[in-house]
Amino acid sequence: MVQQPPQPQFDPFYVNMYGPMPNEKFPVPAVDLRYLKPEYYRRVVDDPTGERPGTIVVDTSTRYLYLVREGRQAIRYGAGIGRAGFEWSGRGYIQYKREWPTWTPPASMIEREPHLEEWRHGQPGGIDNPLGARALYIFENGRDTIYRVHGSGEAWTIGDAVSSGCVRLLHQDVIDLYDRVSQGAPILVV
């Protein structure tokens, strides 16, 4: 009989934080913590941004998203960001929020990736939908930037520049953020 290598031990606090969410419309599996660097676990930190409470700040250099709170604190989430040539930066606001949103790839993405043609008119929400469990829609000066803060089940992408410009959080983290953020919340991507 072949022995399996021992499984790494993880802090039960984070095992619970990133555990399964069976009561979601589409049940969310547990995060395999072997693929998530501990520095990207969600946690409360001293606010490094200086922004007002309620503001979302995405620091693309560190791959962290911060939600600024009262008392000079912030909730820090690990994030996947846009790869070179696809990033967006600036000040905007969250125009609206959606649970299990429909994803519609932009025409330019379909042109680059023709296999996405089947979703030209939208891919229904679900665990395999690229927007994942939740999406926060970023607008700037009254216009849709086409960039989103959204969910992902791909733990290995957190901390990397991998997306077509959007900010990815794990499903468990984007659900947590979604529940804390108001429509109209300011967002700064630097």
Instruction: Give the C-alpha separation, 7 to 65, whole Å.
Output: 30
Q: Quick one: pLDDT at residue 122?
A: 92
CB within 8 Å of 4: residues ≥ 6 apart: none
Angstrom distance (rounded) from CA 38 to CA 150: 20
Q: What is the pTM of this model?
A: 0.92
pLDDT of residue 9: 82
Pair 150, 136: CB distance under 8 Å: yes
- Res 49: pLDDT: 98
Q: Would you state the pLDDT for residue 154?
A: 96
Low-confidence ranges of the chain (pLDDT < 50): none
